[in-house]
Chain A
Amino acid sequence: MVDRQALMDALEQHGTVVFCDDYQGLYYLIVMDNWDSDIPTFDSIADPFVLPDYPDQGIITLVDGVIKTQYNPATI
């Protein structure tokens, strides 16, 4: 199970968490504003928390400081 609070604490070192949670076990969604770094930095923080339960990072975008990423379980 994703340690949501620890993940949010780690991510907030680099921006503002808008949403960070799972949706009915279907996917794990993270949306952040004001991200001050790059995608590899985000991945290095988030992946260890999320990938064990949601091993497929199906989507990630970073535009104007907004990060959106959707992690999926192995089978959707």
Chain B
Amino acid sequence: MIINPYVFNNSSCATPITNASSLIANGTNNVFQAPAYGLYDYSWSSFIYTAGLFGGARQIRGIEIEVGFFSTPYTFNNQTIKLAHLAPATTTFDSTPAVDWSDMPVSDVQVVKTFNWTVSANGIIQILFDTNFCYNGTSNLILGWENRDGSWAVGYGYGKTIASANSGAYKYQDTTYPTGNGTRISNRLNLRILY
């Protein structure tokens, strides 16, 4: 018996897999803290993508992001990607964005991927989820990236981003995973969704 892993992953999602993709954000800015900052033991970054960018409901089965200037291979261990719906009226981070999203009207928070991330080549990076995210098409989408590697290393590069007012946030530190509030930025990570 052959089981389609994508349907199996989230059979409760009414939106079918179509094996299509959409480019959601595509810019030329470089942000070292996105999605993970290799200079520090731990980091967090988060980005908001407004509903109008998606064109409807999607069963998101993966993403593509874009990175540059990593000394390859460069590995971040213990990475977690989370997605959640964000209330339609909230399109930006506040001035003191909470690492745990406690200040954001989020729902359906879901860990979609846990992995050791090795950047084997710079450019477009495809990440297929462990669990698909059933995006409703009307809420905004918020992405969180938790870097719990626990060590730093030279040779880190940057994530490619596009300017967008107050659409990003990050925090980084050594020794322990950051808590509390981070820093808001006006960039969001380049993103293509696979659905």
Which residues in A have some Cβ–Cβ distance to B below 8 Å? 19, 21, 23-24, 26-27, 29, 58-59, 61, 63-64, 66, 68, 70, 76
Contact = CB atoms under 8 A, between A and B. Distances in A.
Contact of B157 (A26, A29, A59): A26
8 closest A-B pairs by CB:
A76-B30, A26-B69, A68-B39, A19-B154, A70-B39, A63-B174, A23-B154, A24-B69
Contacts of A63: 173-175
Nearest to B157: A26
A29 B154 contact: yes
B155 interface: yes
A29 to B, nearest CB: 7
A24 B71 CA distance: 9
10 contacts: A19-B154, A21-B154, A23-B154, A23-B155, A59-B32, A61-B173, A63-B173, A64-B175, A66-B174, A70-B39
Given A24-B69, A26-B69, A63-B173, A70 B32 contact: yes
Contacts, number: 28
| Interface SS majority for chain A | strand
Nearest to B29: A76
Interface string B169-195: 000011100000000000000000000
Contacts of B174: 63, 66, 68
A44 B154 CA distance: 24
Contacts of B173: 61, 63
Interface in B15-63: 30, 32, 39-40
Contacts of A24: 69, 71
A66 to B, nearest CB: 7
B76 interface: no
Given A26-B69, A63-B173, A68 B154 contact: no
